């Protein structure tokens, strides 16, 4: 279990996602976080995995993440959640978001809705970006509204709740599946060719025909 926050620590065997001191009492070397890409040796998905070869434009990302375009634009411009595939540059270009980006967008929306500080959300975003798919699938983010804690097992969730620190939880694996379901009905595009990939929305037969004709 890990937490994000300036000085807070979680009960049990927690450690800070981003902060000056881990809960074990050991000092975190300057410029490093308590947990990160090498924390448990779990690599991310291969860069050439199918999910990483499909991008989604802003409106699609908004629809799948349940946010407004104004939020998407603001978060990109302030560096909170930037598109990992293509940023907007110059006139006529559009941002292109990856699947993981949209999962993060959806989680950020939930954290903001519960009053978590922007500083702690930024730390949580960095932590989520550093994790591989296996880690994300079993991760639960808990928060008391001020600090965000990572729990990787049911026992850690129970420990946190018994300590009176957790008020709400976000099962990252569930968010992942929700985004998969939403994107299956929406349009994406191949990163390498720019080909439009039409979702399985039952009312989108016209788009399918256009895609075949192209």
Looking at domain 51-213, which CATH architecture does it have?
A: Orthogonal Bundle (1.10)
> What is the average per-residue pLDDT within 165-187?
90
Q: pLDDT by residue (tens digit) across 90-130?
A: 666 789 999 999 999 999 999 999 888 999 999 999 999 98
Residue 169 has pLDDT above 60, yes or no: yes
Residue 192 to residue 82: CA distance in whole angstroms: 20
Q: pLDDT by residue (tens digit) across 202-212?
A: 445 455 555 55
The predicted structure's pLDDT at residue 49: 52
The predicted structure's pLDDT at residue 210: 55
> What is the average per-residue pLDDT within 176-187?
93
Asked whether 187 and 54 are in contact (CB, 8 A), the reply is no
The predicted structure's pLDDT at residue 89: 76
Residue 199 vs residue 50, higher pLDDT: 199
Quote the tokens at residue 110: 């939930």
Q: Tell me the pLDDT band of 58, cut-offs 50, 70 and 90.
A: very high
- Render the burial of 181-190: b for 16+ CB within 10 Å, e for the rest: ebbeebbbbe
The predicted structure's pLDDT at residue 28: 24
Nearest to 198 by CA among 213, 210, 186: 186
> What is the average per-residue pLDDT within 43-68?
76
Q: Give the chain's mean pLDDT.
A: 74
Residue 199 has pLDDT above 80, yes or no: no
Q: Tell me the pLDDT band of 60, cut-offs 50, 70 and 90.
A: very high
Residue 182 has pLDDT above 70, yes or no: yes
> What is the average per-residue pLDDT within 150-158?
84
Residue 85 to residue 102: CA distance in whole angstroms: 12
Residue 48 has pLDDT above 50, yes or no: no
Residue 199 vs residue 16, higher pLDDT: 199
Give the end-to-end CA distance of the chain in Å, rounded to a whole number: 50
Nearest to 151 by CA among 117, 25, 53, 165: 165
Residue 203 vs residue 23, higher pLDDT: 203
pLDDT over 90, % of the chain = 36
């Amino acid at each position: 279990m890990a937490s994000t926050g300036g000085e807070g620590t979680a009960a049990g065997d927690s450690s800070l996602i981003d902060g000056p001191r881990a809960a074990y009492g050991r000092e975190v070397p300057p410029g490093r976080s308590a947990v990160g890409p090498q924390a448990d040796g779990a690599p991310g998905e291969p860069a050439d995995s199918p999910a990483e070869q499909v991008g989604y434009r802003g409106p699609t990302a908004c629809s799948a993440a349940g946010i407004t375009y104004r939020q998407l634009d603001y978060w990109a411009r302030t560096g909170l959640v930037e598109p990992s595939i293509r940023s907007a540059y110059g006139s006529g270009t559009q941002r292109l978001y990856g699947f993981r980006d949209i999962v993060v967008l959806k989680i950020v929306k939930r954290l903001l809705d519960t009053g978590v500080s922007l500083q702690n959300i930024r730390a949580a975003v960095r932590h989520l970006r550093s994790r591989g798919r296996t880690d994300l699938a079993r991760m639960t983010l808990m928060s008391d509204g001020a600090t965000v804690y990572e729990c990787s097992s049911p026992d850690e969730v129970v420990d946190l709740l018994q300590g009176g620190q957790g008020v709400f939880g976000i099962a990252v694996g569930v968010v992942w599946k929700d985004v998969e379901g939403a994107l299956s009905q929406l349009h994406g595009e191949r990163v390498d060719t720019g080909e439009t990939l039409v979702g399985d929305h039952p009312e989108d037969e016209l788009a399918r025909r256009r895609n075949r004709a192209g």
